[in-house]
Amino acid sequence: MDSKLIEADCLIIGCGLSGSVIARFLAEELDKRVVIWERRNHIAGNMYDFKDSHGILVHKYGPHAFHTKKEYLYDYINRFGDWNPFYLTCLAKIDGIFTPSPFNFQTIDDFYLPEEAKEIKDHLLLAYPDRQRATILELFENSDIVIKNFAKFLFEKDYRPYTAKQWGIDPSKLDTSILKRVPIFFSYDREYFDDPYQIIPQESYTSIFHSILNHNNIRVELEVEALDYLSVSPGGNEMLLNGNDIDIPIIYTGALDELFQGSGESLPYRSLLFDWKYEEIESFQDAPVVAYPQAEGFTRITEYKKLPVQLVHGTTYAIEYPVDYKVAENEPYYPVLTEQSQADYAKYKSFAEKIRNFYFCGRLADYKYYNMDQTLERALELCQKLKSEII
């Protein structure tokens, strides 16, 4: 094993949102010297964005729009740069028709004759009088046959083929939390999210991270693979640095199965492959993101000059192909949440909780499908724990 010295009070693994927010807290609130090790050659984790060779801001790891219901998370993120309101709109191409995604009343008009469409809308409004949306799972569970048939239509045309590509497994094997992510709006509303705070950075996500990390007590070291230096002691209750005891707190935002290599099953993740294209045209598609449930191989296309709106000539877009995750070959984007994978994760979690002075959080370490606001909330919760436990 290579060796590496640390001159800091705390070590953080991973410079994504989780690691950066915790670093800022330790540096600012607890006056700790923090070093962050990041294996990639850039900060910002999966939120990293940059200007491509055509001057268009693109998101390297897929389209990101920040949204939350919680004012304190909105206030927190606004401390670190200017944000603009941004209401994401998406389309889905089904049977050759571009319909709003998430589905809404326009979708019903797009696929049914006017009388049938009216019947479905009436039944939905009657069944959910005080609601603006429901999930496809709820519609399935409804005893009204008109509603059930509509849910079946959406499931067969969109959800089943999309899920098969996105997750590489049959929808029945997935945790219902995934099915619950697919809403249907009972109106002509076209906003993708219904959260009161929907924003995007005025400059870039990466500039927000520069601002979070801009503190004298924080040092970021890029292209450092933490597991080249860190390991778990044979007894499982200490972290070792270069094979020796380490007496500073470690906050780990990587995957737990990687940390405990060889102690059990690898946790399944789904990865993505982006096919980047540039064309000398003003517009490629009518929304920033278009889903293609029925297309061969790919799931969606993101046109970046629309996320946020950029007044530039030409357009860059990325075609998204879900693929299996292979360590060292691609990125672990989405945890594949099945009964088995969650049981395997629970074992790693119980190992990790036994290690002294060791903390973990984030979408990888928690093995959860967190949106940015959930990631932020979890990181801020861990900060409070650190405040009471780190001297």
Q: Which residues bind ligand FAD (CB under 6 A)?
A: 13-19, 37-40, 45-47, 61-66, 225-227, 253-254, 333, 362-364, 370-373, 375
How long, in residues, is the chain? 391
**Least distance in angstroms from the C-beta of 313 to ligand FAD:** 26
The pairing of strands 289-291 and 300-303 is antiparallel
Among candidates 196, 166, 193, 190, which has minimal Cα distance to 179? 166
Q: Provide the minimum distance between the beta carbon of 20 and ligand FAD in the complex, in angstroms, as a whole number.
A: 7
Shortest Å, Cβ 46 to ligand FAD: 4
Shortest distance, position 311 Cβ to ligand FAD, whole Å = 22
Kindly tell me which of 14 and 102 has the beta carbon lying closer to ligand FAD. Answer: 14
Phi and psi at 129, nearest 5°, equal -60, -35
| DSSP single-letter state for residue 233 | -
Burial class (CB in 10 A: 0-12, 13-18, 19+), 293: buried
Q: Which is nearer to ligand FAD, 4 or 133 (CB)?
A: 4
> How many CB atoms lie under 10 A from the CB of residue 360?
24
Which of 17/108 has CB closer to ligand FAD? 17
The rounded distance, in Å, linking the Cα atoms of 109 and 192 is 18
Other residues' Cβ atoms within 10 Å of the Cβ of residue 105: 19
Residue 322 C-beta: closest distance to ligand FAD, Å:
10
Q: Cα(first)–Cα(last) distance of the chain, in Å? A: 30
Q: How far is the CB of 173 from ligand FAD (least distance, A)?
A: 21
Nearer to ligand FAD, 38 or 344 (CB): 38
Q: Which of 15, 24, 80, 19 is nearest to 43 (CA)?
A: 15
Q: CB of residue 21 vs ligand FAD: minimum separation in angstroms?
A: 8
Nearer to ligand FAD, 99 or 166 (CB): 166
Give the nearer residue to ligand FAD in terms of CB position, either 162 or 370. 370
Question: With respect to ligand FAD, which residue has the nearer C-beta, 24 or 40?
Answer: 40
> Is the distance from CB of 233 to CB of 42 less than 8 angstroms?
no
Residues 6+ apart with CB under 8 A from 163: 169, 170, 171, 174, 178
Instruction: Give which of 292, 353, 279 is closest to 320, Cα–Cα.
Output: 292
Closer by beta carbon to ligand FAD, 65 or else 182: 65
- Characterize the bridge pairing of strands 334-335 and 10-13: unpaired
Whose Cβ is closer to ligand FAD: residue 126's or residue 327's? 327
* Nearest-approach distance from CB 64 to ligand FAD, in angstroms: 4
Amino acid at 54: H
**Cα separations in angstroms, 79 against 55, 73, 312:** 27, 10, 29
* 52 and 59 Cβ atoms separated by less than 8 Å: no
Q: Shortest approach of ligand FAD to residue 5 CB, angstroms? A: 17
